[in-house]
Amino acid sequence: MKERFKVALVSSGLGRELRGIETWMADLALHLPDTLQVEVWSGGSFVSPRPDRVVRRIFGINRNHSFLRGRSWSSRYLAEQNTALPGTLIRLLLHRPDVAYCGDPALAWHLKRFRRWHGCPIVFLNGMRLSPLWAACFDGVHVLAPPYLAEAADLMPGRSLEHFFSIPHSVDAARFHPVSPGERRATRHAFGLPEEGFIVLTIGPMGTASGKRIDHVASEVARASSTAFLVAAGADEEGADGVRSRVQEALGSRAILLGRVARERMPLLHQAADVFALGTLGEPFSIAIAEALATGNPVVHHDDPVTNWVASSGGIPVAMNMQGAAAAAFRRLETDPDYRAELGLAGRRLAEERYAPEQVCAGLEREFRRIAARGKGT
């Protein structure tokens, strides 16, 4: 009897980090359908969310190891990926998946270089907004929103884009869901937040490497209202001290910096907020936006084609590079609860229809099988 179609989810940071790539790989390990034989290949120690999902270590140096202290985030991340390569190649030869799916760009690039040797098609998750010209060499290229396909067509006129496909990240609307006012007060109490204030939530690393621009969001909250709070969740990265200082200077005690929050507490954190905001000017795809939409929270974000598509009817696009633009949106959302509820309901419907895990993962399975069947790119 033929073994089921085998997919290896390869992530050098899984088991160590909780950024977008690692969060997505963990979600796929849970939600990919039983028609696939799913293996999780992690750089760190990852606990399988399901007993039928095999976890294999590929090792490599942790990007946060003291050995790499003093280097930039990008340099540390590159070292992690490069040192994970030998273990991944050995796994490919030993376990022979039908497709290897990887969102770490340097690691994926080298896996593709060795394609003739190990024979496995490499599907690259372009979750870092890298140029489609750079990504075009992979057997499959997963982009997260339709604007990326339009960009690829513009940059590569006349070239086949058959190996590119657009499927968004998913969100579990059963875990991320709206709550009553009483339940919201209880979740705020669990995080030590003010029970009656207007809370703007932002999620992402505190610092400058990822471009989350939490200090800009803080200044806009300060301009918007004297009764609004900013709650920020995320680990420190390079430049954290300067950003933190500017956030506290703008808001004082109305800036509540939670640091790293465990993944299992994220639904509660979203439920504690009134609004979600993202200051990034070019976000590849914010999983946190999808989670906020599912929770019924409006999203204030930069006016960018990709983020506009992600938030759609549940979002308010503003010029996050201009003073006062986001503040006006926050002010209206605080003073007009009917408008806030209208946007929240639209966002919830969008999350249920577009980002349902079953729908997203069924689409990924189709693409994995299609890419493997093409047998090209060797």
Give the model confidence (pLDDT) of 296-312 as tens digits.
999 999 999 999 999 99
Tokens standing for 164? 């590119």
What residues contact 86, with CB distance under 8 A and at least 6 apart?
none
* Per-residue pLDDT, 30: 95
- CA separation for the pair 299, 190 (Å, rounded): 23
What residues contact 301, with CB distance under 8 A and at least 6 apart?
277, 278, 280, 283, 286, 289, 307, 308, 311, 315, 316, 317, 318, 320
SS3 212: coil
Low-confidence ranges of the chain (pLDDT < 50): 1, 376-378
- Residue 131: what residue type? S
SS3 29: helix
* Per-residue pLDDT, 23: 92
* Per-residue pLDDT, 177: 97
* Per-residue pLDDT, 73: 82
Q: For the segment 148-179, what is each residue's pLDDT rounded down to a tens digit?
A: 999 999 999 989 999 999 999 999 999 999 99
Phi and psi for 103 in degrees, rounded to 5? Answer: -110, 0
- CA separation for the pair 34, 16 (Å, rounded): 26
* Per-residue pLDDT, 377: 44
Tokens standing for 307? 């983020």
- Write out the DSSP string of 217-254: HHHHHHHH-SSEEEEEE--B-TTHHHHHHHHHHHHGGG
